[in-house]
Homo-oligomer: A and B are copies of this chain.
C-alpha cells in the first residue's frame, strides 16, 4: 500500500496562488506594497495588524523568492532596505481589487468607501490603471533613493 503522494503547490492555479500568497501575512504585505505605498521594512512592521519581526523577515524572503518583490538597499541611507513590487505582483491588482469589493460587500464593519466599490464595478480597468499609476508614483519617489 503506497501512501498518497502530495501534489506540489504548483500546476493547479488555485494551489499556485495559495502557495505564493495564501496566508494572512502575505496578504497584508502585498496590500501595503500595492495599495498603501509602503516600501520599507519598518513601514511593514508598523502595520496595524502587528506582524512579528521574524515572520515579516520570513515573508519578505518568500515573496522575494517567488519574484513578487525585489530587495534594494537605500543609497541615501544604507541601513534602510526597500522592497519594490515586481510586474508579477502588480499583475495581481485586478484580482486583489476584486477580492476587496467582495469583502466590502460582505463585511458589515467594512471601512472600504462605497465610492471605491462603485468605481471598480463601473470601470474595473480604469480603477486598476489608477492604482497602477499610484504605484508608479511611489516607485518614482523611492527610485531616486535606491540607485
Query: Which A residues are within 8 Å of any B CB, using their own CB?
Result: 4, 6-7, 9-19, 22-24, 27-28, 30-31, 35, 48-50, 88, 91-92, 94-96, 98-112
Contacts and interface: CB of A to CB of B under 8 A. Distances in A.
A14 B93 CA distance: 12
A4 B50 contact: yes
Copies of this chain, count: 2
A30 to B, nearest CB: 8
B23 A100 contact: no
Contact of A100 (B17, B30, B106, B107): B17
A147 B10 CA distance: 38
Given A22-B23, A24-B19, A109 B11 contact: yes
Given A10-B109, A19-B24, 19 more contacts: A7-B48, A10-B107, A11-B107, A11-B109, A12-B48, A12-B111, A12-B112, A13-B107, A13-B111, A14-B28, A14-B30, A14-B31, A14-B35, A14-B100, A14-B103, A17-B102, A22-B27, A88-B106, A91-B106
Contacts of A18: 24, 27-28
B6 A50 contact: yes
B95 A11 contact: no
A22 B35 CA distance: 18
A144 B91 CA distance: 42
11 contacts: A4-B50, A7-B49, A13-B110, A14-B27, A14-B96, A15-B31, A22-B24, A23-B23, A23-B24, A91-B102, A98-B98
